[in-house]
Amino acid sequence: MAARTMFEKIWNAHIVHEEPGQPSLIYVDLHLVHEVTSPQAFDGLRLAGRKVRRPDLTVATADHNTPTWELTRPIEDQISKAQLDALDRNAAEFGLPNYYDRFSENQGIVHVIGPDLGYTLPGKTVVCGDSHTSTHGALGCFAVDHGIRVDGPLPNGVSAKDVIFGIIGKIGVNGGTGHVIEYTGEAIRALSMDGRMTVCNMSIEAGARAGMIAPDDTTFDYVRTRPYAPKGAELEAKIEEWRGLVTDAGATYDKTVVIPASELTPFVTWGTKPDMVASVTDRIPDPASFATAGEREAAERALEYMGLEANQAIQDIKIDRVFLGACTNARIDDLRAAANVIKGRQVNSDVYAMVVPGSARVKMEAEAEGLDQVFKEAGFDWRVAGCSMCLGMNPDILEPGQRCASTSNRNFEGRQGNGGRTHLVSPEMAAAAAIAGHFVDVRDF
Ligand SMILES: CC(C)[C@H](C(=O)O)[C@@H](O)C(=O)O
Ligand code: SF4
């Protein structure tokens, strides 16, 4: 058989029907559901008099609209409440056994709980009405043919978030359009599962349909400790099968990009698209330095919205708020990395900083390790799980003009609240900025 990429192997194994000129019909192994994009789908089923075909392969949770304040306090926003109530009703009506409402100990951001609970597994096809479903590809599933290799070991102080910023900074927000990106190379292999999910999560910010990383021992060790993953001999047999998913030697990608890890540094976005990114040691670019008129205009507009000047040093940018959370960086490794930076230090008096664990389980795990104490003692607010200030759909929003160091994945205009200014960074960089009150190079912090 001809050499195949991991994507081709997974895709081919799931084809149900193909006809020339028509999209392929693909079997779906796991369907993830959240309250924002599911009401229309359930209405569609209801109108057609249909059931959910495989409730057992469907996992639903409440994440985008859930307030991050204490669970005993009711939801005040009526639109949020209506969306969450609709999911409660739909899950009951369609008999979804794996529905985690906001009070469940398995609740959390859909892209955090899927892998963490062991629903997302290598080789699976995973769908969800949400763009960051690309996260799940970190386990070696298809959640297509564009290879990105990050060569060499990662320098100290450079995180998974900086790897993906380095990639997006190079290929741009449309660099992956029409492709699935497979990430390979020594730097990728050395990442933990949580780090791999950060990289795959932001594939969508490079325009790609999905991101994936071949499963290896790091993946298998992770899956072995997941509550709902297969166990014992069944799991070990599956692991042998999953080892065969890796891209064959000699298989070709439509395009290959090579990035030397030694070129990566901690990054900070300065604009309103994720590829408007600079090294923390750099200055904000002068819009005049861009090649095309379109890029020059976009940079000018971004600087105006962000309230920044060309050539300003990134480290001179003062911040008002810090948000440590979102499906990009609210897993246990992210919280550990940030806690490590802030231990024994105090949040700057001009900054309001909050940590929002990605799921109720991540929160419990962090509390069991005492990370909540580290954050609280430093002056961080410690919240209940949800999408929170990643997007303005719940009470956590920026005031107009407020500037935030955020571990989320999108810095679009108004993303964190009308007029809010978002700088995307790694958890370590967000933690250091919270202490300093402005961006600092975490490598010398
Ligand atoms: C609400 C949902 C449709 C949306 C997405 O698909 O990405 C959200 O999760 C986001 O991050 O903007
Ligand atoms: S955390 Fe942010 S990016 Fe992730 S699913 Fe929620 S809103 Fe979307």
Q: What is the CATH number of the domain that holds 335?
A: 3.30.499.10
Exposure string for 38-76, b = 16+ CB within 10 A, e = fewer: beeebeeeeeeeeebeebeebbbbbbbbbbbbeeeeebe
pLDDT 10s digits, 380-406? 999 999 999 999 899 999 999 999 999
Average pLDDT over residues 27-48: 96
- The closest-lying atom of ligand 1 relative to the alpha carbon of residue 390 is 11
Q: What is the C-alpha to C-alpha distance for residues 381 and 323, in angstroms, rounded to an integer? A: 10
CA dihedral 56, 58, 64, 65 (to 10 degrees): -60
Examine the domain organization and report whether 236 and 278 are in the same domain.
no
Model confidence at 178, pLDDT cuts 50, 70, 90, reads confident
Examine the domain organization and report whether 234 and 281 are in the same domain.
no
Examine the domain organization and report whether 309 and 228 are in the same domain.
no
| Protein residues with CB under 6 Å of any ligand 2 atom | 63-64, 109, 111, 130, 132, 326-327, 387, 390-391, 408-409
Classify 180 as helix, strand or coil.
strand
Examine the domain organization and report whether 334 and 295 are in the same domain.
yes
Distance (angstroms) between ligand 1 centre and the Cα of 131 equals 6
Examine the domain organization and report whether 235 and 287 are in the same domain.
no
Distance (angstroms) between ligand 2 centre and the Cα of 362 equals 16
pLDDT 10s digits, 105-129? 999 999 999 999 999 999 999 999 9
**Secondary structure tally for the chain: helices H, strands E:** 15, 17
Residue 338 within any structural domain of the chain:
yes
258 Cβ contact partners less than 8 Å away, ≥ 6 residues apart: 148, 149, 151, 185
Per the structure, the count of domains in the chain is: 2
The burial class, CB within 10 Å (0-12 / 13-18 / 19+), for 132 is buried
- The closest-lying atom of ligand 1 relative to the alpha carbon of residue 393 is 1
Which of 290, 134, 130, 276 has its CA nearest to residue 207? Answer: 134
pLDDT 10s digits, 51-72? 999 999 999 999 999 999 999 9
Residue 254 within any structural domain of the chain:
no
Exposure string for 338-360, b = 16+ CB within 10 A, e = fewer: bbebbeebebbeebbbbbbbbbb
pLDDT for 303 beyond 70: yes
Examine the domain organization and report whether 217 and 283 are in the same domain.
no
Residue 376 within any structural domain of the chain:
yes
Residue 35 within any structural domain of the chain:
yes
Examine the domain organization and report whether 314 and 185 are in the same domain.
no
pLDDT for 268 beyond 90: yes
Q: What is the C-alpha to C-alpha distance for residues 57 and 52, in angstroms, rounded to an integer? A: 10
- The closest-lying atom of ligand 1 relative to the alpha carbon of residue 415 is 12
Q: What is the C-alpha to C-alpha distance for residues 385 and 63, in angstroms, rounded to an integer? A: 8
Residue 259 within any structural domain of the chain:
no
**Domain interval for residue 53:** 6-243
Model confidence at 146, pLDDT cuts 50, 70, 90, reads low
**N- to C-terminal Cα distance for the chain?**
53
Examine the domain organization and report whether 184 and 291 are in the same domain.
no
DSSP letter, residue 269: E
Looking at 182, 210, 243, the residue that finishes a domain is 243
Give residue 147's pLDDT.
Answer: 64
Q: What is the C-alpha to C-alpha distance for residues 161 and 268, in angstroms, rounded to an integer? A: 10
- Tell me what the pLDDT averaged over the chain comes to: 96
Examine the domain organization and report whether 234 and 285 are in the same domain.
no
pLDDT 10s digits, 92-108? 999 999 999 999 999 99
Distance (angstroms) between ligand 2 centre and the Cα of 326 equals 6
pLDDT for 249 beyond 80: yes
| Strands laid side by side in the 180-184 sheet | 210-212, 180-184, 146-151, 256-260
Q: What is the C-alpha to C-alpha distance for residues 130 and 114, in angstroms, rounded to an integer? A: 13
Q: What is the C-alpha to C-alpha distance for residues 117 and 365, in angstroms, rounded to an integer? A: 13
Q: What is the C-alpha to C-alpha distance for residues 173 and 203, in angstroms, rounded to an integer? A: 9
198 Cβ contact partners less than 8 Å away, ≥ 6 residues apart: 159, 160, 161, 164, 328, 329, 334
Measured from the alpha carbon of residue 386, the closest ligand is: 2
pLDDT 10s digits, 419-434? 999 999 999 999 999 9
Examine the domain organization and report whether 12 and 58 are in the same domain.
yes
Measured from the alpha carbon of residue 108, the closest ligand is: 2
Residue 322 within any structural domain of the chain:
yes
Q: What is the C-alpha to C-alpha distance for residues 106 and 359, in angstroms, rounded to an integer? A: 7
243 Cβ contact partners less than 8 Å away, ≥ 6 residues apart: 215
Of 65, 131, 329, the one to substitute when testing ligand 1's pocket (max ligand atoms within 8 A of C-beta) is 131
Give residue 144's pLDDT.
Answer: 41
Examine the domain organization and report whether 89 and 150 are in the same domain.
yes
Examine the domain organization and report whether 121 and 228 are in the same domain.
yes
* ipTM score above 0.95: yes
Give residue 145's pLDDT.
Answer: 42
Give residue 396's pLDDT.
Answer: 98
The model's pTM is 0.96
Q: What is the DSSP string of 94-121?
A: TT-TEEE-TTSTT-B-HHHHHHHHT-S-
Average pLDDT over residues 159-178: 95
- The closest-lying atom of ligand 1 relative to the alpha carbon of residue 37 is 3
Q: What is the C-alpha to C-alpha distance for residues 67 and 102, in angstroms, rounded to an integer? A: 9
C-beta of 131 in contact with ligand 1 (< 6 A): yes
Residue 337 within any structural domain of the chain:
yes
Residue 102 within any structural domain of the chain:
yes
